[in-house]
Structure 1
């Protein structure tokens, strides 16, 4: 125990280079000739290189990062990174593609950087996400987290993010000699809130962009579906008004035409808001008075302009292919969500079900958007474990309404056990099944 406490009371590691100054992030000159999903570069980090809350290091069996080729929203080749976490006593045939929340328009907020010990204290969300990923790691599965926004930090661009996740999966499937992940591993995906964007779009794009990829299950929660009414809601009725502008800036980062239009339409005295978002992570920018977002634009009908409408249409989830019926999906959403509108997510569930998808939709009647990220995790882990264990979900859609997912005894038990074990992981105990 004394050794564990000494481990916990570590001093902060030396700072690591930011992505812009780290050669690992720069693809080879000829990378555009490679197929999407090709591994361009790899490195193995220290098994204690990742951090969680209060900069506590995580004791994993191994940690790897892969730079791989993918495709942006304009169908141009780009390269991004996936971080692979292998727990002790891992089942290398079980892979979870976990998509942490990254509400950011800045490359220094990339998951592959903010997860690492020695990174700038630029994000409060990523260390908390490490705690959530531990829930899967302690169950023995390999967990991979993708820089799904790409090098442009294209926050909110569904095509960009979904393709990045699909190509990260492709990269993992050819990484056995590097990571140890089996080439025949069963794969599932999980994403909540901003993390649900790559997860849900990967489900929509899989049949056309990556038919070679097979997921055996997926979990998406707090899912953004119809961008236009949600941005109106954020600007007019939500304390998370900054999110609306952050999404617009992310779309601009990924689309030069829209970027030019946004820059020409923003009021000069509001330009500082865009500059701030492009140089910080949203969760560290400080909450702003929403009155600052009144009259952002020099034109009163910015949302109705053709280029803006194009961006909304291209990023409206559900207009493309429905997920295959062979991929069981858990969707969960808080009916009182004050950030991501509930009704469009429920409508998406109905839409996909009508087109043959297999979905269980859970409505939480008491949680808010942030609470459900935590309270919904145990239910998500149990869903994923059931899929890996071959438990049938049925061939049709279903829905349920609960006060809170933790009212289910199985979820509550998993939640309590996770809390106890996570305390030991903070003290430096190995992360994995059967450790405690």
Structure 2
């Protein structure tokens, strides 16, 4: 395995976040001053299928969590039949700890718009949609303004390309805040005006997606990475990262770190290196556990500090890289309390379509509340582990799996702490004020 040498400053240079600190970074003029839309300008001169081959050669993988090869996903669309083909961008970022796409849209929306135009050109589509988390009204307004700028500048709209014969339209759609709509088929149902619930697959969206037409569904960061690839070449992108996890990505550090935030770096960087950039764990404390990809990924301990953050490497360590939402917890934190909060979230957000997820999350939540309160039953921990096992792999979509993973990994790593929940409340073992990041947080 070849891992990027992080002492090379040129390979640490940000790509998606390169203009975040520039005044009015969200403006079209600012974006163009820093090389924006040069990739789209080049894209018009590629032949049929060539853009998809460039993205394949780059090694870009989906940045939404699954890590599926992007170019391969685009190539799954059936041959053109004269009907419409769509691109849908998943911006329904809702998982606890995951917070990269919203800042990207707020600071540099034109990277997404340019990437969408290139993708639509690649797949022979003319209409793209951005399905945005509805609570982020400020992001919705900024993205709408950026789309309007692109229309007015003639970068999207009617009569595009060297021959003036290509049309590209982009629609920004605000969802209603349902986590389940982050699942691609539930998102498509919601976009079509129906209740957001996952569809049975196959058929997959590539064959029958939006309005039962061939559709590419990609994450914001995935599409925002495309302009750099087309502008600089597949080899430029592939030189960053690891053997199987190519390129750069946004790593979101939150929790007990001195400087939480977004850190853009090549794949293969380690948590130890990211913590150095973030100033380390807060003063006087030490790392207890962390998640590499948000609340739906297995908890890891300090022994995994030097695991290269690539898809395969993190999986070998027993977790998933997913959305690179690195939640950092020090020794003042109750694992039971954290897992209980995540379980509350998954139970609340379950769409209720399938029995394992609907019933399983309800019972896991009840047991977790007992353990947190120090009122657990002797059989609770084994029963909790068994319920989680009966959900994993048996639910209609990945939400069920997501709810089971933190419980099983939490028990595997910290069973003794769960056993303390049979007699002692978590708030006595780990007082709230000890783990609080702000002095305003009092005892409740």
Using structure 1 for the length normalisation, give the TM-score.
Answer: 0.25
Give me the TM-score of the superposition, normalised by structure 2. 0.25
Structure label with greater radius of gyration = 2
